[in-house]
Amino acid sequence: MLHYKLFGGNSTDDIIRAMASIECLMLSLDIIDDIQDEDNSYANGIIMDTSNLLNISSILIFVSQNLLFGINYPFQKIIVNYYIPLTIKGIEGQHLDINNKILNESQYIEMVKKKAGSFTTLAALIGAVLATKSYPHKLITEYSTYLGVASQLLNDANDVKRLDEKSDILKKRMTLPILFILEHPSPKIMLIKSYFNNEITYNELYEKKQEVINEIVDSKAIEYTLIQRELYLKKAFKIAQSVSFTNLEFRPKLLQLLRGV
């Protein structure tokens, strides 16, 4: 909606359909993501089995596509040309993530650009194309991708100190702060390294929970991740400032978003 308004959109029907379509797509992929992460607990303590969750996810994908097909021509065709390749790219990023073969920071960032950046870009481009025939495709793609990366890095920074059943550490997920910790040269940073090297069990790690948290804090992994997030936001902000938006009333909202506020 923000990009629709930025580029002068002033109707409601098609943009509402497009927003609902992307929302259904994201809900579907979130459910699949939770199944892959073995997290099937939902609001109000409801627990659903995998079969039902897969049915719901499948329905949402078809609802998403059906909403797109209801958008007026020629917008429908242009949107589908974004919808399909960017969704495939996002799922490819998720595939890289669940296989957990990331070895270094550059590989991780490329994965996040696909997994998170693709869907941020999809939402922005659909908003723009519904509003105007003339929009800076490349610039929107660049700053939207950086925004997606920044959002994921914030999640990484917030999640790294968790040691519950959803913990990235428990599942040995290669997030940016964990990669930073594993490459840390200090001999005092050893518990998480020992766990990732299969030298100790998770129960043994959890018994030293406070020591683990102290190691994470001492490593400065969270600070490093947040600094990287800030750098990506600054890149996005600089690019967005160079774009000539049609409706300047909404420009501060985008820039505020790209400041991470």
**What global pTM score does this model have?**
0.91
Complete domains list, the chain, with CATH: 2-258 (1.10.600.10)
The predicted structure's pLDDT at residue 227: 97
The predicted structure's pLDDT at residue 238: 97
Separation between Cα atoms, residue 228 and residue 251, nearest integer Å: 24
The predicted structure's pLDDT at residue 78: 87
The predicted structure's pLDDT at residue 41: 53
CB 192 within 8 A of CB 170: no
| CB count in 10 Å sphere of residue 157 | 21
pLDDT at position 2 over 70? yes
Q: 83: Cβ–Cβ under 8 A, 6 or more apart, which residues? A: 21, 25, 68, 122, 126
The predicted structure's pLDDT at residue 44: 44
Q: Give CA 251 to chain center in angstroms.
A: 23
pLDDT at position 94 over 80? yes
Q: 256: Cβ–Cβ under 8 A, 6 or more apart, which residues? A: none
Separation between Cα atoms, residue 30 and residue 53, nearest integer Å: 11
Judged by average pLDDT, the poorest of 164-178, 183-197, 199-213, 232-246 is 164-178
pLDDT in tens, 19-53: 999 999 999 999 998 888 766 555 445 567 888 89
The predicted structure's pLDDT at residue 43: 46
Percent of the chain with pLDDT over 70: 95
CB 176 within 8 A of CB 104: no
Separation between Cα atoms, residue 249 and residue 261, nearest integer Å: 18
pLDDT in tens, 214-224: 999 999 999 99
pLDDT confidence band for 17 (50 / 70 / 90): very high
pLDDT in tens, 62-80: 999 999 888 886 778 888 8
Q: 245: Cβ–Cβ under 8 A, 6 or more apart, which residues? A: 6, 7, 251, 254
Q: Rg of the chain's alpha carbons, rounded to an integer?
A: 20
Separation between Cα atoms, residue 244 and residue 230, nearest integer Å: 24
Burial grade of 230 (CB within 10 A; 0-12, 13-18, 19 or more) = middle
| Helix, strand counts (H, E) of the chain | 13, 0
> Which comes out higher in pLDDT, residue 200 or 50?
200
Residue 140: φ, ψ to 5°: -60, -45
> Which comes out higher in pLDDT, residue 69 or 200?
200
The predicted structure's pLDDT at residue 46: 59
Average pLDDT for residues 194-199, to the nearest whole number?
95
Answer whether the bond into residue 74 is a cis peptide, omega within 30°. yes
Helix (H, G, I), strand (E, B) or coil at 192: helix
| CB count in 10 Å sphere of residue 73 | 7
The predicted structure's pLDDT at residue 40: 54
pLDDT confidence band for 261 (50 / 70 / 90): low
Q: 254: Cβ–Cβ under 8 A, 6 or more apart, which residues? A: 2, 3, 6, 240, 245
pLDDT confidence band for 165 (50 / 70 / 90): confident
Instruction: Tell me what the pLDDT averaged over the chain comes to.
Output: 91
Burial grade of 148 (CB within 10 A; 0-12, 13-18, 19 or more) = buried
